[in-house]
Structure 1
Amino acid sequence: MITEIAQIDVKPGSEKDFEAAVARAEPIFKRCKGWQRFELHRSIEKPSRYRLHITWDTLENHTIDFRGSENFAEWRALVGPHFASPPEVEHTNTVARF
C-alpha cells in the first residue's frame, strides 16, 4: 500500500463548497482500481489549505489507472474549480506505526 498526499490550497471562501465536492467524490473513488480509502484534513493555521490522504494498493493504481481514467476527469470537474493553485502531490510508504 502507498499513501498519496495532496496539498490543496483552495480559493478563500470556497472551503465549504470544496469539502462538499470531496464528499460527493466518494463514489468515484470507490470504483477505482486499487483504491482503499481517503481522508481530508484541513489546516488550522491556514484554513484554505487541505491535505488529502488517499491510500492505494500500488503507486500505479494512482499514477496510471486513476490518472488516465474518466474517474480522474470527474474528480477534477468536481474539485478543480475550487483550487487556488495546482495541488502538490507526493507518495509515501508507511515505515512505522505506533
Structure 2
Amino acid sequence: MILEVAILYIKKGEELLFEKDFEIAGQHISSINGYVGHSLRKCIEQENKYILLVDWGKIEDHTIGFRESEQYLEWKKLLHHYYDPFPVVEHFETILENKKQ
C-alpha cells in the first residue's frame, strides 16, 4: 500500500468553505479503483494548515487512475482555488508499522 501525503495551506478565512467542499470532493476520490481510504486533518497551531493522507493500493492508482480521471477534474474544480501555495504531494511506502492494540 502507498500513502499519499499533502500539506495544504488554505487561504485565510476560507477554511470552513474548504472543509465543506472537501466532503463533496471525497466522493470523487473514493470512487477510483485502488483507493483504500483518506483522512483530512487540521493543524492545531495554524488554523489554515491541513494534512491530507490518502491510502492507495499502488502509486499508479493515484498518479494515473485518479489524476487522469473525470473525477480528478471535479476534485480540481472544488478544491484547487483554496490552496495558497499549491501543495506538494509525495508518496510513501511503509517500512515499519507499530500500533497499540
TM-score (norm 2): 0.91
Equivalent residue number for residue 24 of structure 2: 24
Equivalent residue number for residue 80 of structure 2: 80
Cα separation, 1, equivalents of 2:50 and 2:30: 21
Cα separation, 1, equivalents of 2:96 and 2:41: 21
Equivalent residue number for residue 14 of structure 2: 14
| Matched AA of 2:71 | N
Which moved further from structure 2: 27-36 or 51-60? 27-36
* CA-to-aligned-CA distance 1:16-60 (integer Å, 9 cap, x gap): 111111111222122111001000011111111111000000000
Uncovered stretches (5+) of structure 1, i.e. residues with no partner = none
* Runs of 4+ residues over 2 Å off in structure 1: none
| Matched AA of 1:6 | A
Cα separation, 2, equivalents of 1:30 and 1:40: 13
Which moved further from structure 2: 58-67 or 27-36? 27-36
Cα separation, 2, equivalents of 1:32 and 1:38: 12
Uncovered stretches (5+) of structure 2, i.e. residues with no partner = none
1:54 aligns with 2:57: no
Task: Percent identity, please.
Answer: 34
* CA-to-aligned-CA distance 1:44-78 (integer Å, 9 cap, x gap): 11111111000000000001111111111100111
Alignment: residue pair count: 98
SS of equivalent residue, structure 1 residue 25: helix
Cα separation, 1, equivalents of 2:21 and 2:63: 22
Root-mean-square deviation over aligned CA pairs: 1.0
